Amino acid sequence: MSFDHPVTAPAADTATAPLALYVHWPFCVSKCPYCDFNSHVRESVDQQQWRDALLADLAHEAALTGGRPLGSIFFGGGTPSLMPPETVAAIIDAAARHWQMQPDTEITLEANPSSVEAARFADIARAGVNRVSLGLQALDDQALHFLGRAHDVAEGLAALDTAQRHFGRVSFDLIYARPGQSLAGWEAELARALAFGTGHLSLYQLTIEPGTRFATLVAKGELPEVDPDHGADLFEQTRAQTAAAGIPAYEISNHARPGEQSRHNLTYWRYGDYVGVGPGAHGRRGQLATFRRKKPENWLSALARNGHGIESEEPLAARDRAHEALLMGLRLAEGVDLAWISARSGIAADALVDADAVQVLERQGLVTQKNTRLGVTEAGMLLLDRILAEIVA
């Protein structure tokens, strides 16, 4: 890891720093067996009701943060590509009225790569979306079936081609460390993915999350647990292969060409303020953590009753804010600026991390510190959880 490249962090004055807006669409056609996101399957959705509800939840947050610059909008889910383009446009228009949206504001929408949803891409682009993130997940039909995906490779690649014609920036996800996946097999699949020419890739190891169908299958002995040693080999191969292709990791699971990083996600990782609306959405508004009700029906009821879908607003103590900033920022190749975290939280810079542990890990080549900037090295990223547990004071 090098600190020679310029690093842009959020301003210490949060009143003037750009906000990120997250909009959660909770509905999916089906529930994938590995997914623990707040997603729900419903036979029907009242689109007008949901458009009005999301706009009302948005207006509540805008009343508390309005007038600030808006750096990004992210439509996540669920499957937000199931949203009518008119709803997407209405939300973007409302955001432009409430906040200071610039012509280059990054507006991302997550999409399933089905032919039905790809047919909406032109209208979604006209609505104002300028970046799309496609859930391809695999470039192998057998693997897609295992992952519970409704599309096959041919349909997914057709959707990718459509996306590249309609959006200025395109990213897609792949899941690796699947049962039976060899190093050679993943190398070939990743090489194929890199050849499509997108500026951003999100590459995740398969994890067995509690409460998912995969977790049930593992508990029954019907699905093998992920081999951590094999996963580590695949992780190292992934980092080397993407770096060689000019699309290196800038975060532990995200890879981009220079200038193609997700600005929205960087707001999270750099611990900037973000507004979250829709069922289950989280937010960080100044020194408050906001949580919205997860179940769609409960969120709608709360909105009708209170004018917003918030379940709780919790003040974050200075130590908690500092810990969150460290845990998020050390995922990044650029690392964190301890002086900035100190200014943001009020915790002295020398009290943020265990200096003795940092020295030991630095001698082992796992972390690097230059003045007040601390980061995890390429070798250390494989052991990130252990490193965080050791150095966070």
Residue 50 Cα to chain centre, angstroms: 23
Whether residue 345 is predicted with pLDDT greater than 50 in this model: the reply is yes
pLDDT tens, position by position, 143-159: 999 999 989 999 999 99
The pLDDT of residue 14: 60
Is the pTM higher than 0.85? yes
The pLDDT of residue 3: 37
pLDDT tens, position by position, 210-219: 888 888 988 9
The pLDDT of residue 355: 94
Cβ-Cβ contacts under 8 Å for 227 (sequence gap 6 or more): none
Please state the rounded mean pLDDT for residues 17-35.
Answer: 89
pLDDT bracket for residue 53 (50, 70, 90): very high
Token output for 112 = 């399933």
pLDDT tens, position by position, 203-250: 999 988 888 888 898 899 988 888 889 999 999 999 999 999 999 999
The pLDDT of residue 393: 64
- What is the percent of the chain with per-residue pLDDT over 70, rounded to a whole number? 96
Cβ-Cβ contacts under 8 Å for 371 (sequence gap 6 or more): none
Give the residue among 94, 11, 32 at the shortest CA–CA distance from 59. 94
Within 10 Å of residue 97's Cβ, how many Cβ atoms? 11
Please state the rounded mean pLDDT for residues 128-154.
Answer: 95
Q: In the 8-state DSSP scheme, what is residue 125?
A: H
Domains of the chain: 19-269 (3.20.20.70), 318-391 (1.10.10.920)
The pLDDT of residue 13: 54
